[in-house]
Structure 1
Amino acid sequence: MSVVSPALRDVFDAIGRDAARRDRDRILPFAEVDALRDAGFTRLTLPREYGGRGASRSELFETLAELARSDSNLAQLFRSHFSFIDRTLLMPDGATKTERLRLVADGAIHGNATFDRGGPDAEKTTLSDTAAGPRLSGRKFYSTGTLFADLVSVLAERDGQPVSVLVPTTRSGVERVDDWNGFGQRVTGSGTTVFTDVVVEPERVSGVREAPTDGPAFVQLVLLATLVGIGRAVVDDAVAYVTARTRTYSHASAPRAADDPLVQEVIGELSALAYRADAALTLAASVLETSASSLSSDSGEADRDAAICASETHVTKAQLVIVPAVLDAASRLFEVGGASALDRDRGLDRHWRNARTLASHNPARYKARALGAHLLTGSDLVGWWTSGDA
């Protein structure tokens, strides 16, 4: 039985009807984000006492895959939002945790501002202590979702130490720039965010990496759930295209495309590739479910570290299964028909472009090597990784 509620299913279906046009014309999905918020999607994993559904991690990843089936851009742009909720839920009880959950309960959407551009000598985003209080200045790139967000967590340096700063996106000195120019995931709002002497409340500054966490595995699995949704959409679109197709070839095996054994074989292969990706997501999500229980309990350090290692291991394996399966499916899709499948209004090419863009996050080559080293030498899988500096 689907974990997606009927109300959300209706919103997902509406989102899917215009997804190809939004991609083709690069129409930013502000209305679609609002519709998801109004339907309760942004509160999916909030506890019920905060007006949420209290969905588990496994339910979240399956719901994200179904949203990505309609439009992969929407699933990815909420990556930081659900990561923010997840790490807040794992915080000790207190005023900070309560405030953050209430912000989301009131409808706030959270965005991302993590990455500075350039190497070790590049200018960093900094939090400076002044007589009037902390001030934030810097420039962030790949700020996925922030164009649509009410709040953003900013990774900054304070006296040489990393800190996380929670800032309203409408605050004076915050500028969100729509300059993402990638060929895929074109409407995720993954542009630049500029901070110029932004006022920061001291209580909204916190340390980072204070304890081991499965956060990196969580955010990677959001991307993989999005890829899984693309795999499902490939099958949907292939079946719809072939079913409606009336033209065929003089050397075809049947007078109607849907009856052609070779076309049927391609459809079957696409379905199997999507199934492979589905299975990997389900298994990895179940491991993260167990990890969440360990991290939120009073289990010892050894149990916690084992849970984090298992999360990293399974999500890495899932990445090495899901990425090639979905990319293969998105390419083989075009074997079900002729030139009409290339019509830009159909937008079938967006599946490969979007999958390739998502697959470029945390490149699989590095993850495969790390997994191999772990199995051969016992070396730890990296529990925290980023990009920008070697």
Structure 2
Amino acid sequence: MSALVDRFADVLDEVGEGAVERERERRLPYAEVGLLREAGFTTVTLPTAYGGAGADHEDLFELLAEVARRDPNLAQLFRSHFSFVDRTLHAPPSARRDARLRLVADGAVHGNATFERGPATVGTFGTRLSRDADGLRLDGTKFYSTGTLFADLVSVAAQGDGGPVSVLVPTGAQGVRRVDDWRGFGQRTTGSGTTVLDGVRVDEDDVVEQDPGRPGHGGAFVQLVLLAALAGIGRAVVDDAVRYVRGRTRTYSHASGPTAQADPIVQEVVGELSARSFAADAALAAAVRVLARSSRALLAGDPDAAGRVADADVATARAQLVVLPAVLRAATDLFEVGGASAVDAGLALDRHWRNARTLASHNPARYKARALGDRLLTDAPVVSWWTSGEA
């Protein structure tokens, strides 16, 4: 266990205590987000000069996996928060950069308002930043707003006069409405619903134009947060399998051992679950190490920083093709350790597969496999940032 995970062990166990009940009741984790914020979780990657822990990428993603081990919804809903901190830390020094880091240092949680369910084509947004007699205003509707129900700030991807922009907006601003209408069968308490922006007034300094020529590993970073959540699910599958088998007193007339614990077939299943979790952990850790190298290159102004970012994109795509099948298979084979009692709704063991399947659906792995093959065969680059829209 890393020193950072050890520091948060008590609060992690506390927020994990009600995870099954939250799953059954679909109770949104406002209180748990508050506990993590109060414990300093939201500031772990801030430099110590800002009151943070100065955690590096390896520590952060291990901590996220341990959060997900308790509740993968909590790990995912902080994805945009830690991505916001990461890209701010990698931005050129400026008064705006310092002000944004101070917002996080003061306790602000950041959410997401990027994707839409509208007529905008791939690469564009229906959400508009426009100017009227009173200044800048923001109008549009976002979906998949993961974490925004719990957030104080949100970066809104919008179409400006000169192209795509990112606008930092307080979630309590007039004209912002957050709707709890996420109906996915998994990751049910991430708050990934609708955010409506109706004439929201915007300060000029809160608008950042996208610079496609500036290298950044943001695409790899957000995908690795999902993989950390999946790795945590893999660990939880092993935890639940061991807990279930140890507490099982019934067996079968045709079983291979006198008890479930002593049954070699059950032991084999548990061993395989452990190995799949290990594979997921190893793939995540390997990709995070490459991400850390890209971070060092970006911060140092390395002339080959774009190459290091490309390496992170490749490593993340490869990790996805290991982590997803390993965890999905483990979440299915978990039920081989017991009989019909394992499907009792009170145990909610099905949550592991539903949550893993939902996370796995964010960026289809088939496209990542094809992209890797294309790179190996034709030297085509792996796309750094994936988006969606009407064809």
Query: What TM-score, normalized by structure 1, do the two folds share?
Result: 0.98
Unaligned runs of 5+ in 2: none
For residue 153 of structure 2, the aligned residue among 147, 151, 155 is 151
| Residue equivalent to 1:12 | 12
Moved more, 80-89 or 123-132: 123-132
The Cα shift of 1:236 comes to 0.2
Amino acid at match of 2:141: R
The one-character-per-residue Cα deviations of 1:133-162 (angstroms, maximum 9, x if unpaired) are 100010000000000000000001111510
- Identify the residue that residue 342 of structure 1 maps to in structure 2: 343
Is the contact between residue 116 and residue 388 of structure 1 (CA under 8 Å) also seen in structure 2?
yes
The 5 A counterparts of 1:258-337 are 258-300=261-303, 303-337=304-338
Please point out which of 179, 189, 200 is paired with 1:187. 189
Cα deviation for residue 5 of structure 1 reads 4.2
3-state secondary structure, aligned to 1:195? strand
Instruction: Tell me what 1:231 maps to.
Output: 234
Q: Give the conservation status (yes or no) of the 8 Å contact 1:3–1:62.
A: no
- Conserved 8 A contact 2:64-2:229: yes
Q: Which amino acid aligns with 1:276?
A: A
Deviates more, 1:156-165 or 1:195-204: 156-165
Corresponding residue of 1:85 = 85
Structure 1 residues 182 and 89: alpha-carbon distance in aligned structure 2, compared to 1, 3 A threshold: same
How many residues align structurally?
Answer: 388
Please say if residues 7 and 39 of structure 1, whose CA atoms lie closer than 8 Å, have aligned partners that are also in contact.
Answer: no
**1:386 maps onto 2:381 in alignment:** no
Counterpart secondary structure, 1:296? helix
SS at match of 1:112: strand
Give the partner amino acid of 2:71: D
Distance in 2 of aligned mates of 1:33 and 1:90:
26
User: Equivalent residue for 1:68?
Assistant: 68
User: In the alignment, what sits opposite 2:35?
Assistant: 35
Deviation at 1:7, TM superposition (A): 4.4
1:61 maps to amino acid: F
Which residue of the other structure, out of 124, 127, 133, is the alignment partner of 1:125? 127
Give the whole-Å Cα distance in 2 for the aligned partners of 1:145 and 1:3. 27
Deviation at 1:116, TM superposition (A): 1.8
CA deviation after TM superposition for structure 1 residue 209, in Å? 3.6
Tell me the secondary structure at the aligned position of residue 163 of structure 1.
strand
Shift in CA distance, 160/117, structure 1 to aligned 2, threshold 3 Å: farther
Corresponding residue number in structure 1 for 2:144: 142
Per-residue deviation, 1:2: 2.2
Is 2:201 the counterpart of 1:199? yes
1:289 counterpart SS class: helix
246-255 or 226-235, larger mean C-alpha shift: 246-255
Query: Identity of counterpart residues, as a percentage?
Result: 62
Q: Deviations over 1:185-211 (max 9, x none)?
A: 000000000000001111000112441
Structure 1's unaligned 5+ residue stretches are none
Please say if residues 81 and 109 of structure 2, whose CA atoms lie closer than 8 Å, have aligned partners that are also in contact. Answer: yes
